[in-house]
Structure 1
């Protein structure tokens, strides 16, 4: 007997990726339900190669009898419907920022802190971390276990798909406009994104950080270790899929690039591509549709004691969102909701 699974926000970038990932990984579902807002009712979305699902109205849907909901409709919508689903007995895996810092909601990356999932019954909600945080902590976890990380300085290079389909359309439209000499129009981003980089993701906070940078700091502390100090600069770049990060760490124990390569190659969810040649590193274009977090450019930082720098890339719609959520669902099915 399998599970009844609902995908909330099924017509969005992440929702469609969740449906594809559930099918690819053969999640034990007897029934999969696609939910979205009223404007999407009746639309068709693919589930695997052969199945087509008709989108139902999230506002009117009764979650009684649904075992797991994978939710990615935006924080305001999740604030309304995730508690409603949870109250009906459904376990919600929420991909928005709404519940991540709630002390009663586990914030889970399966390769990093699967033990945190044990507390999901307090709210019947599990939070999926921010995409940029997920890929970073997958790489940091085995290094923290071995060397004890004191401080992380990270600069991100985040693709427009992290801001949704409209953002991808804006990059395409602006790029085309430049080539045909049409006016540049902006609606999603505060500055032109085509052939540009924007050092702002989300809103500014009182200390000058953006909310995206704050998320990376507080989520890393909640997932990995509250003692780790994190300084982040988050930048939107004109690529469609794949987030890249330049990460520098300082550790308590002496650290060498050679040992780091060995540790990361043996760690779950990671792929090391690290050679000093033009083909010896991974870029965002290389990772579209791939599940692992890729690490390249591993080198010792001689400007500090016990320092290391590396390059980290992942498909933000896969491991940064859909895959991580499905992996959480797999843990729930295996360890907590077995039928």
Structure 2
């Protein structure tokens, strides 16, 4: 197995450190590893595979070396500037921010769902929004089989989706201290507000889910609406998904399709209180689906409850899976 040179940008952040952990867990074939972050993190050391690596300050000269794949997790503004520099220096960029997701020239990839899109990348590949990743995995086999007509998303998103600041707000709120990250107290509360509000009354997070779902499933005809809510849970997002199909279906076939799809685990035994829980999804790489039932208010409708760890499958693990796909489908090195 040929090894490659990897750079992690934003290596000291929550997702950045998880990227390194997942690289280690999946025994990714690394020849050389470079870690980059802001000036305040320069000189810090991080251990990977038993070896200490020193964090470098990210500059315009950082990519003037042999880097095969650059994993970005440092925010949209950093990605907009430095992803192009990395690409122009020969690296394939896999970006975790929202900077490139809706660019028509940049593929938006969930490896289980649309791996074929990797073939038309032009040096930059986008990792979808965390909530979108876990949503489209179960949607894909159902869309192929029954043709989805309309989707209604209602999310229950953990505070880790806001990074360290979100976790601190929850922990401090439980202690009775004032919040700093969120506009309202998150402890013992739900906030129907993730990211900025737009002129249409939706938030950016809601529009991300709507537009990214269409792009990943390659179907602009889909009718989608979303309400995204921050809840006092540390890790893992939960999503209530209502789906209307064009074709008739049997629930047994729905469960069969989901059970057979990569990365999905069906947990649906309501009489024994078995259904996906955020606390159980934490630290795992699977997408859990349960509470699968007909929506009797419409023809050909179902409801599903979808749960996944937003830092792992919703960010770091999906990024590494894309990198593995790059090696397998593009470089042919695995």
What TM-score, normalized to structure 1?
0.95
Q: Check the 8 A contact 2:172/2:179 in 1, yes or no.
A: no
- In structure 1, the residue matched to 2:124 is 125
Total equivalences in the alignment: 330
Shift of 1:62: 2.8
Whole-Å separation in 2 of the counterparts to 1:318 and 1:192: 26
What corresponds to 1:181 in structure 2?
none
* 1:31 alignment partner in structure 2: 32
The equivalent of 2:310 in structure 1 is 316
Give the 5 Å matches for 1:5-20: 5-20=6-21
User: Is the Cα contact below 8 Å between 2:69 and 2:92 reproduced in 1?
Assistant: yes
Q: In the alignment, is the contact (CA less than 8 A) between 2:119 and 2:329 conserved in 1? A: no
Residues 163-219 of structure 1: per-residue CA shift (max 9 Å, x gap): 111111111111122xxxxxx312210110011000000001111000000000000
Q: Is the 8 A contact 2:245 2:301 kept in 1?
A: yes
1:291 aligns with 2:290: no
Instruction: Specify which of 201, 209, 217 is matched with residue 208 of structure 1.
Output: 201
Q: Check whether the contact 1:16–1:46 (CA below 8 A) recurs between aligned residues.
A: no
- Counterparts of 2:283 and 2:52 in 1: how far apart (Å)? 21
Distance, in Å, in 1 between the alignment partners of 2:96 and 2:249 is: 34
Q: What are the within-5 Å matches in structure 2 for residues 104-253 of structure 1?
A: 104-121=105-122, 124-177=123-176, 184-224=177-217, 225-253=219-247
Q: Which residue of 1 aligns with 2:300?
A: 306
Query: Kindly tell me: are residues 236 and 63 of structure 1, through their superposed partners in 2, closer, same or farther at Cα, counting changes over 3 Å?
Result: farther
Report deviation, 1:120.
1.0
User: Contact between 1:7 and 1:71, CA under 8 Å: does it hold in 2?
Assistant: yes
Are 1:255 and 1:308, in contact at CA under 8 Å, matched by a contact in 2?
no
Q: 1:276 is matched with which residue?
A: 270
Shift of 1:117: 0.8
CA distance in 1, matches of 2:276, 2:81: 40
Deviation (angstroms), 1:63: 4.2
> 8 Å contact 1:250–1:306 — kept in the other structure?
yes
Alignment check: 8 A CA contact 1:298 1:309 kept:
yes
Rounded to whole Å, the distance in 2 between the matches of 1:174 and 1:44 is 32
Give the Cα separation in 2 of the matches to 1:8 and 1:336: 22
Encode CA deviations 1:46-88: one digit per residue, 9 max, x unaligned.
324x233221111252343100011010001111111110000
Name the CA distance, whole Å, in 1 between partners of 2:323 and 2:130.
Answer: 17
Between the aligned partners of 1:329 and 1:130, the Cα distance in structure 2 is 17
Contact 1:4 1:65 in 2 (8 A): yes
Over the aligned positions, Cα root-mean-square deviation in angstroms equals: 1.1
Is the contact between residue 64 and residue 90 of structure 1 (CA under 8 Å) also seen in structure 2?
A: no
Contact in 2 for aligned 1:66/1:90 (Cα 8 Å): yes
Asked whether the 8 Å contact 1:63–1:90 carries over to 2, the reply is no
Tell me which residue corresponds to 2:22.
21
Pairs within 5 Å for 1:71-90: 71-90=72-91
C-alpha separation between the residues in 1 aligned to 2:271 and 2:65?
Answer: 56
Distance across 2 between alignment mates of 1:31 and 1:98: 27
Supply the distance in 2 between the matched residues of 1:46 and 1:161 (Cα, whole angstroms). Answer: 23
Write the distance in 1 (CA, Å) between the matches of 2:21 and 2:164: 17
